[in-house]
Each structure stands twice: as C-alpha cells, then as structure tokens.
C-alpha cells in the first residue's frame, strides 16, 4: 500500500468526482491480493470546521419541521450532496442525530457563492510540509 495515496481525480482510470462530494477529500490507496489490485479510501480522515468562520460567508437556516439533513442541503444549495458541510458546521447543535433535524433548530451554512472557496481551503488545509495527506 502506498503511504501517500492519490486523490481520485488524479487517477486516470477512476471517474472524476465533483467538487461538492465529501469523498473528494479522501485519498485513494491501492492494495493487492490474489493477483488483483483493489482501491480504497482512507475513511479515517477527519475534517473540523473552525469556530471563527468569517460571518460574511455564513448565514442561518431555521428548521421548520423535522427534516433530514439532505433536504436541508437541497433547500439551501439545491444539492442533497452537501449535507456533510451542514453537519460539520453544526456538530455542536446537531450532535449524533445527523439524519433528522428537529423543528426550531437554527443551523449555520456557508453561503452558496463562497462554496468553491471553502472547498479549496479544505483541500489546502490537508497539506503538511508540501505533502497532501
């Protein structure tokens, strides 16, 4: 197994991942067995959002009725795949109940026009000493 891995978008024989996908932040590793090569993600990678995010790039959404994080993501971003970003910004409010958020819960979210900047910063923050991990 390679200790550094590669991002999926850098591997020619794998499909490209959209910027919004959580899986994009994980590196793909190879292992061999029984004369076959298998690829897998390092799912132990962890992202922590800073608590001091610039207030100009966040807004708030108040949940009106019990709904899944994917629905909240769709209402804010017109894309269910960004549920993970909402969760990471609101772990302290959501706790372990990430699937259905109760009414009255106020959630922070990144304003849509700043998403690309945030995604790029997430990628850049996982660089140490010139190496991506």
Q: What's the pLDDT score for residue 104?
A: 95
Q: Is residue 22 packed enough to be buried (19+ CB in 10 Å), middle (13-18) or exposed (0-12)?
A: middle
Are 109 and 87 in the same domain? yes
Q: What's the pLDDT score for residue 109?
A: 96
Are 68 and 36 in the same domain? no
Q: State yes or no: pLDDT of 131 exceeds 50.
A: no
Reported pTM: 0.73
Q: What's the pLDDT score for residue 123?
A: 66
The answer to the question of residue 119 being in a domain is no
Q: State yes or no: pLDDT of 119 exceeds 90.
A: no
Are 72 and 101 in the same domain? yes
Q: Tell me: the pLDDT tens digits for 29-68?
A: 877 888 887 877 766 666 778 888 889 999 999 999 999 9
Are 34 and 63 in the same domain? no
**Tokens found for residue 43:** 């799912």
CA distances from 62 to 30, 34, 76, 79, 96 (A): 43, 52, 11, 18, 19
CA distances from 112 to 2, 56, 117 (A): 36, 12, 10
Are 40 and 77 in the same domain? no
Are 107 and 62 in the same domain? yes
The answer to the question of residue 37 being in a domain is yes
For residue 132, name the pLDDT band (cuts at 50, 70, 90): very low
| Residue predicted with more confidence, 18 or 109 | 109
The answer to the question of residue 88 being in a domain is yes
Considering its fold, how many domains does the chain have in total? 2
Range of the domain at 87: 58-114
Are 98 and 62 in the same domain? yes
The answer to the question of residue 39 being in a domain is yes
């Amino acid at each position: 197994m390679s200790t550094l891995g590669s991002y999926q978008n850098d591997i020619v024989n794998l499909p490209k991942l959209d910027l919004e996908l959580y899986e994009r932040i994980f590196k793909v590793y190879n292992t061999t067995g029984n004369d076959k090569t298998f690829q897998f993600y390092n799912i132990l990678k962890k992202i922590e959002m800073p608590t001091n995010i610039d207030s100009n790039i966040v807004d708030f959404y108040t949940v009106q009725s019990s709904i899944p994080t994917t629905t909240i993501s769709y209402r804010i971003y017109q894309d269910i795949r960004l549920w993970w970003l909402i969760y990471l910004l609101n772990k302290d409010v959501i706790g372990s109940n990430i699937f259905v958020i109760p009414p009255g819960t106020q959630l922070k979210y990144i304003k849509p026009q700043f998403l690309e900047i945030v995604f790029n910063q997430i990628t850049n923050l996982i660089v140490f000493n010139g190496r991506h991990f």
